[in-house]
């Protein structure tokens, strides 16, 4: 079992949350400072570790099996994201999907770091989950 930070539609109430099955929620957490956040077509978020910034992003931490990652989560992720390891506010490390290398340079994703999380950003669009 591994810890996975989720910050988009797989969080509680999101359209992909049911895919988690009985994976235990370990809690609502924040990344350590040093993360930027982007909207990918207003469909999902992209987290980007960046030590030059002092911002943290909210999400949910789950315990999942490696098989779940391999068979369910990773195949369903958009090509703009890749599997990575991030630091949480408590200093511990966990897995997360992050903005893929080269995506920032494409300049097509809207930065939403100022909102601090996907739910807060969706609220500005009049959407909730």
User: Model-level pTM greater than 0.85?
Assistant: yes
Residue 128 confidence (pLDDT):
86
pLDDT of residue 99: 97
* Distance set, CA 68 to CA 5, 7, 8, 18, 92 (Å): 14, 17, 17, 13, 22
3-class secondary structure, 49? strand
pLDDT at 12: 97
Share of the chain above pLDDT 90, in %: 97
Q: What pLDDT, on the 0 to 100 scale, is given for residue 129?
A: 83
Q: What is the arithmetic mean of pLDDT over 37-42?
A: 97
Q: What is the mean pLDDT of residues 22-45?
A: 97
């Amino acid at each position: 079992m591994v810890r996975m930070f989720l910050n988009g539609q797989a969080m509680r109430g999101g359209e992909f949350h049911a895919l988690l099955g009985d994976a235990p929620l370990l809690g609502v957490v924040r990344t350590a400072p040093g993360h930027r956040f982007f909207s990918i077509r207003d469909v999902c978020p992209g987290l980007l570790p960046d030590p030059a910034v002092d911002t943290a992003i909210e999400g949910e931490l789950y315990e999942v099996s490696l098989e779940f990652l391999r068979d369910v989560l990773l195949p369903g992720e958009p090509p703009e994201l890749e599997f990575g390891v991030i630091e949480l506010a408590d200093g511990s490390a966990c897995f997360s999907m992050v903005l893929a290398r080269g995506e920032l340079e494409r300049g097509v994703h809207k930065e939403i770091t100022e909102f601090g999380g996907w739910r807060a950003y969706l609220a500005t669009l009049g959407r909730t989950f």
